[in-house]
């Protein structure tokens, strides 16, 4: 086996204390995603959206990578082939655990974007509608996060990697949001082996050749140990 593509979702960061979206006390049970995770919501009330991401940025900075993030960083370091993490998560826990090949298809909490000129920079702890873009000075700054209705990042490259790898592993995602939810079909159609590691059977569980259930901090390190020995 030469290359592994790993898709991660909020479930891999759950045991680091960062909320998931659709679990019992998930973020979308506390906030209306239309208000805080759509371009329309941002246009309606930018201060509310900035407050939502300021709170998530605080949670992210206060959180620490867990054993699942650390295991994936070990896999990248010790596996003789290629390991790529494509994450739906906007936290930086994979990077802080030591992973280097991490593609954030839904953007990053710790990055800011200017809606006027496209400039990107490291987000300050607190963002507000009155901020000016450091490049063009327009008051058009936003979190560099992909909202519903927007196009996720690096999709063409991701599709290429999915078709070319030997194993596709999905960790901690409900499989309810496309295009990520469709990755397992693309991989399977390309003859790629598929494995799901999740707390419980996801919406797409039946599409995987193998499906293991349990907390990521237990089943991800165990799987990595299997691959490396």
β-bridge partners, 170: 7, 196
Distance CA 2, CA 107 (A): 27
104 flagged as catalytic: no
| Candidate list 54, 99, 141, 198; residue touching ligand APR; CB under 6 A | 198
Question: Could you tell me how many residues of this chain bind ligand APR (CB under 6 A)?
Answer: 23
| Candidate list 48, 67, 163, 177; residue touching ligand APR; CB under 6 A | 177
| Candidate list 4, 5, 11, 52; residue touching ligand APR; CB under 6 A | 11
Residues within window 62-121 making contact with ligand APR, judged by CB under 6 A: 88, 106
Residues within window 20-49 making contact with ligand APR, judged by CB under 6 A: 20-23, 26
Tokens standing for 113? Answer: 């974007």
CA distances from 163 to 6, 49, 183 (A): 13, 36, 10
Binding window for ligand APR (CB under 6 A); candidates: 71-79, 153-161, 168-176, 186-194: 168-176
- In the complex, the smallest distance separating the C-beta of residue 192 from ligand APR, rounded to whole angstroms, is 20
Q: Which of 50, 69, 104, 106 is catalytic?
A: 106
| Candidate list 5, 7, 14, 36; residue touching ligand APR; CB under 6 A | 14
Contact assessment for residue 16 and residue 66, using Cβ atoms and an 8 Å cutoff:
yes
Region of residue 128 (left: phi > 0; alpha: psi -120 to 50; beta: else): beta
Contact assessment for residue 224 and residue 72, using Cβ atoms and an 8 Å cutoff:
yes
- In the complex, the smallest distance separating the C-beta of residue 17 from ligand APR, rounded to whole angstroms, is 11
Residue closer to ligand APR, measured from CB, 29 or 137: 29
β-bridge partners, 22: none
Contact assessment for residue 106 and residue 88, using Cβ atoms and an 8 Å cutoff:
yes
Tokens standing for 62? Answer: 């206060």
Binding window for ligand APR (CB under 6 A); candidates: 43-51, 69-77, 121-129, 195-203: 195-203
| Candidate list 16, 170, 174, 211; residue touching ligand APR; CB under 6 A | 174
- In the complex, the smallest distance separating the C-beta of residue 202 from ligand APR, rounded to whole angstroms, is 5
Contact assessment for residue 90 and residue 62, using Cβ atoms and an 8 Å cutoff:
no
Contact assessment for residue 148 and residue 38, using Cβ atoms and an 8 Å cutoff:
yes
Listed residue (99, 101, 204, 73) closest to 158, CA to CA = 101
Distance CA 176, CA 92 (A): 22
Binding window for ligand APR (CB under 6 A); candidates: 39-47, 117-125, 128-136, 169-177: 169-177
Give residues in contact with ligand APR (CB under 6 A): 9-11, 14-15, 20-23, 26, 88, 106, 172-174, 176-177, 198-200, 202, 215-216
Q: Which residues are catalytic?
A: 106
């Amino acid at each position: 086996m030469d290359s592994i593509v790993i898709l991660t979702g909020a479930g891999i960061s759950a045991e680091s204390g960062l909320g998931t979206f659709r679990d019992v006390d998930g973020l979308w049970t506390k906030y209306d995603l239309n208000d805080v995770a759509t371009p329309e919501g941002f246009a309606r009330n930018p201060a509310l959206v900035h407050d939502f991401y300021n709170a998530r940025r605080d949670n992210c900075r206060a959180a620490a990578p867990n054993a699942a993030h650390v295991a994936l960083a070990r896999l990248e370091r010790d596996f003789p082939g290629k390991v790529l993490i494509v994450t739906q998560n906007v936290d930086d826990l994979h990077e802080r655990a030591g992973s280097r090949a991490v593609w954030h298809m839904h953007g990053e909490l710790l990055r800011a974007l200017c809606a006027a000129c496209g400039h990107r920079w490291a987000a300050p702890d607190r963002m507000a509608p009155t901020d000016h873009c450091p490049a063009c000075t327009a008051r058009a700054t936003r979190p560099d996060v992909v909202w519903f209705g927007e196009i996720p990042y690096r999709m063409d490259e991701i599709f290429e990697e999915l078709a070319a790898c030997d194993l596709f592993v999905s960790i901690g995602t409900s499989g309810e949001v496309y295009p990520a939810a469709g990755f397992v079909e693309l991989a399977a159609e390309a003859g790629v082996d598929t494995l799901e590691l999740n707390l419980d059977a996801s919406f797409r569980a039946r599409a995987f050749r193998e499906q293991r259930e349990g907390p990521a901090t237990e089943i991800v390190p165990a799987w990595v140990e299997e691959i490396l020995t």
